[in-house]
Amino acid sequence: MMKKIVLAVLVLWGTLLHAQVQPYQSAVFPNQPVKVGQQTRVLYNSKGGDLEFSDEVKVALYTFQKGFWKMESFDMKAVGDKQWELSYPVKDSTFFIAARFFQGDLHEPDMADNNANKGYGTPVADTKGQPQKGAYLAEASFLIPTLAKGALLNYYEGEPIPQKEYLAQLIKKEEKLSGAAINNNFATYLGAQRVLLDDTQFATAATKVVDQLVKDKAFKEEQLGSLQLFLKHQVKQDALAECVGQYITAQYPNSSTARFVAYSNIRTSGSLQEVIPSYEDFLQRYPISEWRKKPDSKGFIYYAVYRGIGSSYFDDKQFDKFQALFKDLDFRTANELLRWNVMRAYMFKMVSKDSLYEVAEPLIQDLLTKKQDNSYKSDFMSTEAADSNMWKQVDERLFTHISLLNDLGRYEQARKYFFELSEEGKYANAELNEINLNVLEKLGANNEVVPFLEMCARANAVTPQMFDTLKASFRKGHGGSYAGYEAYLASLKSSEEKAELEAYVNEHLNFNYQMPVFSLENADGGHITSHDLKDKIVVMDFWATWCRPCIMAFPGMQLLVDKYANDKQVDIYMVGTMQTGDYRAKSVNFARGEGYRFTLLHDAENAKNGAQDVLFKSLVGPVFSDSSIPRKIVIKNGVIRYSSGGYSGSPSKLMDELSLVIEKLRSE
């Protein structure tokens, strides 16, 4: 008898040794087992925790339903000393519930409690209190959030450490409970196995699942497609994924799933001699004309395919094939091919301008005929937003093409495309406005110049050259006098434009930060120090030779420099920063080579790493939200009062913005 007792104790002890303790806490769900279709109680004791003194505790409940995590948040009811309660109706399709308690905003709570990142949760049983098929996999996905899609990904702080022994127990329980049906949850099941098994063991397990699913007549074509993608991208079983893809193609050769498998197998990297035939083979097997007869939700693949083959043809100088693609393209896709290839080639001088013209001219005409085809509307919530974006794209493509025509001296053609611009686009782009001014002058359309410049001034998109032309015209019409010119110029600006600028300046005129102590070298080898800011209004523009928006803003800064050239109270400094190599020579040679009359300063070098960014980086955080440039600050008597970043594209608007700041500070 004693031997039997000892043996029983040893068996029990062995069971306890091998049974792993549940790593999360279920006590907040006191009514166990929690059942589908019934009310369950959530009871939280905040005593001793971060929410102990909260007078408004909320709970986010995460429910696993049909292979997907969903989340809802609720206010809890105080029911005693530090006790908070919620009654929650459990939906029939629920397999697991997790809880996270918090105060304040759900996404940015003041305080939160998820059991020190171990979790609060409970499995959900069926109406009889028995485990549901799939509940153990749901529990596994609670422990490892990447096993399933949905809202649980924001439950933990970082990634929880996998409890492999406990996870293995869950998988064994699910295998016993579900049998072969476990394969229907292949993503969660194999995802968990990937954590538990080595490469060889996992390959064997995955092959077994795939074999069973392929033989299952109830496993549909779309599910096979999901399986193929999961094997290829999630668990990196390329050979097995290829086998599933081949099976799909053989069984459903003209299906949407087979087309998507073929798309996922396109070779998108490597030499052009390898990439191009891969794209061509796909389009031959699955032409877009066939998809349009019976479109589905995967039309996006043709956007990607044409973008890929288009750039490949263009880079390989197969321009005839590039052009031939456009007969099959809608506005959305044609616009992207022009943007990525023609605009890029023009900006970076990848192709001679004459050759680029031969490619682009028929295509820009084709694009204009497609602008009302509605292909872009699916990307937007409203028709107004979609149409606005369409016109923005048209204006940008025409900007490139008009610039090209202007460079080639094709002024009549350039003028024709001016009338294809949107109403806003005709005058809102200062760089394009200067090109159109040149076109008008070259065509001898002198009677159109002043009206055009006045419209540009109303849009506050004027360059220094345009100002010179307008000023000269004013003088000619006023007996050689400039008297009244400033008033005339001010009268051209719309009240809406003035109000918008006033609001923008007021929004950014909200700093009161003492400028750090500094000493910066100027272009002539002297130094400007923080002491030189005393009793002055100082504008600093942080820029770099590698920063295109910085360079584009130079004409506007030159307008500002010229405006305040004789004002002893105002200094304007162009501070080169974050440059490499011989940054002094780079900055000075560029600015002076382009004819700009700036006071140039060089940011100081960091003694630890040699980076040329000491002053600029000292302002990132207290003044600048990030380290992007261009950045402009306006300082009054050593205190930063104004900061703005980026460039609007208009020299005149930039001058007006900083002038308004200067005058506001002067009038204080």
Give CA–CA dist 657/651, Å, rounded.
Answer: 10
Query: What are the pLDDT digits (tens) for 657-668?
Result: 999 999 999 998
Give CA–CA dist 474/488, Å, rounded.
Answer: 9
Query: What are the pLDDT digits (tens) for 545-561?
Result: 999 999 999 999 999 99
pLDDT of residue 13: 34
**CATH code 1.25.40 region(s) in the chain:** 391-492
pLDDT at 157 over 70: yes
- The fold of 508-666 is Glutaredoxin (3.40.30)
Pick from 16-30, 48-62, 162-176: least confident: 16-30
Contacts of 618 (CB under 8 A, 6+ apart): 516
pLDDT of residue 494: 85
Express the helix, strand and coil content of the chain in percent, nearest 5 each. 50, 15, 30
Q: What is the rounded average pLDDT of the residues 483-507?
A: 92
Give CA–CA dist 471/490, Å, rounded.
Answer: 13
Q: Is the peptide bond before 33 cis (omega within 30 degrees of 0)?
A: yes
Q: What is the rounded average pLDDT of the residues 81-95?
A: 96
pLDDT at 119 over 70: yes
Percentage of residues in the chain having pLDDT higher than 90: 89
For 58, phi and psi rounded to 5 degrees? -120, 165
8 or 594: whose pLDDT is higher?
A: 594
Q: What is the rounded average pLDDT of the residues 238-257?
A: 94
Query: What are the pLDDT digits (tens) for 580-602?
Result: 999 999 999 999 999 999 999 99
Q: What is the rounded average pLDDT of the residues 122-148?
A: 96
Q: Which of the four pLDDT bands, split at 50, 70 and 90, describes residue 61? A: very high
Q: Which of the four pLDDT bands, split at 50, 70 and 90, describes residue 10? A: very low
Contacts of 51 (CB under 8 A, 6+ apart): 57, 101, 102, 103, 111, 113
DSSP secondary structure of 170-212: HHHHHHHHHGGGGGGGHHHHHHHHHHHS-HHHHHHHHHHHHHH
Q: What is the rounded average pLDDT of the residues 7-29?
A: 62
**CATH code 3.40.30.10 region(s) in the chain:** 508-666
pLDDT of residue 18: 43
Query: What are the pLDDT digits (tens) for 259-269?
Result: 999 999 999 99
The DSSP bridge partners found for residue 7 are none
Q: What is the CATH number of domain 391-492?
A: 1.25.40
Q: Which of the four pLDDT bands, split at 50, 70 and 90, describes residue 66? A: confident
Query: What are the pLDDT digits (tens) for 337-383?
Result: 999 999 999 999 999 999 999 999 999 999 999 999 999 998 888 99
pLDDT at 5 over 70: no
Percentage of residues in the chain having pLDDT higher than 70: 97
pLDDT of residue 635: 98
Residue 349, sorted as left (phi over 0), alpha (psi -120 to 50) or beta, turns out to be left
